[in-house]
C-alpha cells in the first residue's frame, strides 16, 4: 500500500513540475512546451443534463494569463448569446477499480476512490485519493485562459450516457460541454478503462465565432494544507 501511495505521490509531484516549467516558459515569452493551445475543432452538439445541486466548493481561482497580451482579453465582434442558467450537479462514474465523482461546475474531478484498496485508518472503507469535503480538499481542475473563456468555474451541461462500466466494456467516458463564452465552447471528456487507475481527459476547443482566438489550457491540482489521513 505504501508503494502505491509513494508511486501516486511521485506522479503528482512530476506532473506539478511539468506545469511549473511550462508556466515559467510562458512567463518568459516563450511558447508553451508541454501544454500548447488546444487545436480548434468543429462544433459539437450540446445536450442538457439532469438538474441537481452541490454544496459550495473551496475551488481555487482561475490562473492568470501572464503571457496573453492585453488585447486578447476580449474577442472583438463576438457576442455570446444568452443561455439558460445551468444548475450544478454531481456526476457519479464507476469502473471495476475506481469510483469517481465529477462536478458539472467546470467538469472537475472532485472525488476518486480506489475500490481495491482500503483506507489507511479505517480498513472498512476504500482508499480515497481525491476529495472535496469538510475534512479534505484535493481536486483536479482544468479550463481556458487568455480571454473570457470557459474555466473550472463555468457551469457545464452533462451529456447523457452510461455511468457504470458494464461487463464486456473496456472503457467508459463522461462528457461535459460548456456554453459559448468569449466566442469559445469547451468540451471536456473524461475516460476510464477497465483495470486501469489512470484517468484520461480530452479537451476540445470550438471557435463559435468568426474571429481567431488563442486560448491557453491550464491544468491544476488543488488541495488544502492538511496532512493526509494516517500521517502525524
Q: What is the pLDDT of residues 113-162, one digit of tens each?
A: 999 999 988 999 999 999 999 889 999 999 999 999 999 999 999 999 99
Would you say residue 193 lies in a domain? yes
Would you say residue 201 lies in a domain? yes
Please check whether residue 153 is in contact with residue 181, taking contact to mean a CB–CB distance below 8 angstroms: no
Longest dimension (CA), the chain: 58
Q: What is the rounded CA–CA span in Å between residue 103 and residue 106?
A: 7
Would you say residue 228 lies in a domain? no
Please count the structural domains in the chain. 1
Would you say residue 1 lies in a domain? no
Residue 215 has pLDDT above 90, yes or no: yes
The CA dihedral of 73, 75, 76, 81, to the nearest 10 degrees, is: -130
Please check whether residue 28 is in contact with residue 21, taking contact to mean a CB–CB distance below 8 angstroms: no
Strands, sheet with 171-177, edge to edge from the N-terminal-most edge strand: 157-158, 171-177, 184-193, 200-207
Would you say residue 17 lies in a domain? no
Instruction: Quote the pLDDT of residue 134.
Output: 86
Would you say residue 157 lies in a domain? yes
* Alpha helices (runs of H) in 28-109, residue ranges in sequence order: none
Banded pLDDT at 29 (limits 50, 70, 90): low
Q: φ and ψ at 39, to 5 degrees?
A: -70, 140
Instruction: Quote the pLDDT of residue 48.
Output: 45
Q: What is the rounded CA–CA span in Å between residue 197 and residue 206?
A: 29
Would you say residue 128 lies in a domain? yes
> Sign of the C-alpha dihedral, residues 162, 153, 136, 190?
positive
Ramachandran area for residue 70 (φ above 0: left; ψ -120 to 50: alpha; else beta): alpha
Instruction: Quote the pLDDT of residue 6.
Output: 55
What is the per-residue pLDDT across 43-83, written as a single tens digit (0 to 9) for each?
444 444 443 445 555 457 777 655 433 333 444 444 445 55
Instruction: Quote the pLDDT of residue 83.
Output: 54
Residue 217 has pLDDT above 90, yes or no: yes
What is the per-residue pLDDT across 79-117, written as a single tens digit (0 to 9) for each?
445 555 678 899 999 999 999 999 999 999 999 999 999
The CATH number linked to 148 is 2.70.98.90
**Which residues does 183 contact at the CB level (< 8 Å), separation at least 6?**
75, 78, 80, 147, 207, 208, 209, 211, 213
Residue 204 has pLDDT above 50, yes or no: yes
Q: Which of 21-25, 47-51, 177-181 has the lowest mean pLDDT?
A: 47-51
Q: What's the domain range around 137?
A: 38-79+87-223
Beta bridge partners of 48: none
Helix, strand, coil percent content, the chain, rounded in steps of 5: 10, 35, 55
Would you say residue 45 lies in a domain? yes
Instruction: Quote the pLDDT of residue 1.
Output: 54
Amino acid at each position: 500500500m505504501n508503494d502505491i501511495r509513494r508511486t501516486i505521490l511521485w506522479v503528482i509531484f512530476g506532473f506539478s513540475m511539468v506545469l511549473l516549467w511550462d508556466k515559467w516558459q510562458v512567463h518568459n515569452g516563450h511558447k508553451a512546451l508541454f501544454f500548447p493551445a488546444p487545436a480548434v475543432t468543429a462544433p459539437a452538439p450540446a445536450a442538457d443534463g439532469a438538474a441537481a445541486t452541490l454544496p459550495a466548493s473551496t475551488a481555487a481561482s482561475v490562473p492568470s494569463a501572464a503571457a496573453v497580451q492585453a488585447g486578447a482579453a476580449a474577442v472583438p465582434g463576438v457576442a455570446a448569446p444568452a443561455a439558460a442558467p445551468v444548475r450544478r450537479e454531481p456526476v457519479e462514474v464507476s469502473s471495476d477499480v475506481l469510483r469517481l465523482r465529477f462536478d458539472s461546475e467546470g467538469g472537475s474531478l472532485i472525488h476518486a476512490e480506489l475500490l481495491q484498496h482500503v483506507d489507511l485508518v479505517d480498513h472498512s472503507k476504500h482508499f480515497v485519493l481525491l476529495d472535496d469535503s469538510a475534512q479534505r480538499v484535493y481536486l483536479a481542475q482544468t479550463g481556458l485562459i487568455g480571454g473570457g473563456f470557459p474555466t473550472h468555474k463555468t457551469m457545464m451541461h452533462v451529456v447523457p450516457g452510461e455511468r457504470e462500466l458494464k461487463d464486456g466494456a473496456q472503457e467508459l467516458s463522461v462528457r461535459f460541454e460548456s456554453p459559448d463564452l468569449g466566442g469559445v465552447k469547451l468540451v471536456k471528456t473524461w475516460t476510464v478503462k477497465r483495470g486501469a487507475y489512470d484517468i484520461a481527459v480530452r479537451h476540445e476547443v470550438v471557435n463559435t465565432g468568426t474571429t481567431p482566438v488563442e486560448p491557453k489550457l491550464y491544468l491544476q491540482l488543488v488541495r488544502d494544507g492538511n496532512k493526509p489521513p494516517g500521517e502525524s
